[in-house]
């Protein structure tokens, strides 16, 4: 595992080489994102070494033979990448009711590839969840999880996946919180939130108020750090904990 994880972007050399050559060849053109295929093999080779010497070295040795073999097979992907689906506004009675009541607290109501989601302010997320459960019959809390965006000011997305048995409908409720900010536990709405929130706490360090027993669930109690944060590298471990509790130098 360690040798694999040292390479952060494992791309097969065959597929990456034409793309990197095309990128390196573009300095001759005016627009860097031009989709034109590269004209000759000599030009990109010189451009490679002259203007962007870092690219071939970072690619490692497989890039060189692939670039040399290129004139026979010109870059196969001159067509621009098709645009992915975009979130579309989601309009329904539920959204209109919520918007009328909470106004700007509902930041976004969209569907993405047919999946509905709401982005709400963290101050009203408990009210929204309670309302979804009591009035809108979302009686099954499928999942609670989080996503870490370290570059954002509000670092964490907390995602609640809800399902309604009555309407056969699934909705995600998302909220964004800062480091250190807490949310009210959804345990009093759905008891299933107990372990799901413990896992979020364990993996991200997000605390939930009024939780019946917020402690680590998958990692040992004394562990330091929250592994699913982006600033926690994949090889990191709590050395001290490993040495004290397992009696070995390192777990790797």
Partner 1 sequence: MSDFENDYRHAKPGQSGPGIVDYLDLETKDQTYLDATELVLNMGPQHPSTHGVLRVILKLDGEKVLGTECVIGYLHRGVEKIAENRTYAMFNPYVDRMDYVAAVSNGLGYCEAVEKLLNAEAPPRAQYIRVILTELCRIASHQVWLGTHALDIGALTPLFYCFRDREEILKIFEKYCGARLTTHAFRIGGCIYEAYDGFEQDCLKFCEHFLPKLNEYEELLTTNRIWVRRTKGVGILKPEDCIALGVTGPVLRASGVKWDLRKAQPYEAYKNFEFEIPTGVNGDTYDRYLVRIEEMRQSVRIIRQAVEGLPTGPIMAKIPKVLKPPVGEIYHSIEAPKGELGYFIVSDGSTQPYRVRVRPPSFVNLQALDKMVRGLLVADVVAVIGTLDIVLGEVDR
Q: Binding residues for partner 1, per CB under 8 A? A: 5, 8-12, 15-16, 81, 83-85, 87, 112-113, 115, 139-143, 145, 147-148, 159, 161, 165, 168, 170, 172, 188, 190-192, 194-196, 203, 212-213, 216-220, 227-228, 232, 234
**Burial tier of 180 (Cβ tally within 10 Å: 0-12, 13-18, 19+):** exposed
Is residue 146 classed as helix, strand or coil in its secondary structure?
strand
Nearest distance, CB of residue 138 and partner 1, angstroms? 11
| Closer residue to partner 1 in complex, CB, 34/192 | 192
Q: How far apart are CA 64 and CA 196, in angstroms?
A: 49
C-alpha angle 208-209-210 in degrees, rounded to nearest 5:
120
> For residues 64 and 228, which CB has a smaller minimum distance to partner 1 in the complex?
228
Strand (E) or helix (H) holding 99: helix 93-102
Task: Tell the smallest beta-carbon distance from residue 216 to partner 1 (Å).
Answer: 8
Q: Where are the beta strands (DSSP E) in 71-226?
A: 88-89, 106-112, 115-120, 140-148, 156-164, 169-177, 183-184, 208-209
Give the nearest distance from C-beta 105 to partner 1 in angstroms: 21
| Nearest residue (CB) to partner 1, 28 versus 112 | 112
Closest distance of CB 241 from partner 1, Å: 13
Instruction: Specify the residue, 89 or 213, whose C-beta has the smaller distance to partner 1.
Output: 213
């Amino acid at each position: 595992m360690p040798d694999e994880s040292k390479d952060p972007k494992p791309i097969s050399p065959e597929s990456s080489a034409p793309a990197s050559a095309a990128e390196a060849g573009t300095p001759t053109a005016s627009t860097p994102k031009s989709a034109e295929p590269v004209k000759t093999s000599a030009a990109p080779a010189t451009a490679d070494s002259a203007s962007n010497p870092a690219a071939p070295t970072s690619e490692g040795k497989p890039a060189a033979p692939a670039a040399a073999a290129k004139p026979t097979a010109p870059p196969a992907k001159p067509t621009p990448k098709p645009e992915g689906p975009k979130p579309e506004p989601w309009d329904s009675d539920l959204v209109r009711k919520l918007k009328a009541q909470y106004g700007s607290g509902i930041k976004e109501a969209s569907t993405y590839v047919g999946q509905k989601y709401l982005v709400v302010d963290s101050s009203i997320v408990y009210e929204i969840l309670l309302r979804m459960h009591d009035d809108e019959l979302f009686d099954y809390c499928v999942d609670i999880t989080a996503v870490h965006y370290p570059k954002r000011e509000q670092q964490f997305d907390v995602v609640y996946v809800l399902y309604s048995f009555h309407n056969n409908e699934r909705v995600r409720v998302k909220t964004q919180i800062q480091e250190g900010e807490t949310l009210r536990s959804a345990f009093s709405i759905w008891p299933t939130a107990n372990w799901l929130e413990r896992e979020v706490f364990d993996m991200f360090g997000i605390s939930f108020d009024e939780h019946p027993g917020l402690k680590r669930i998958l990692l040992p109690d004394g562990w330091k750090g929250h592994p699913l944060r982006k600033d926690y590298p994949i090889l990191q471990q709590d050395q001290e904990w490993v040495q004290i509790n397992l009696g070995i130098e390192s777990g790797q």
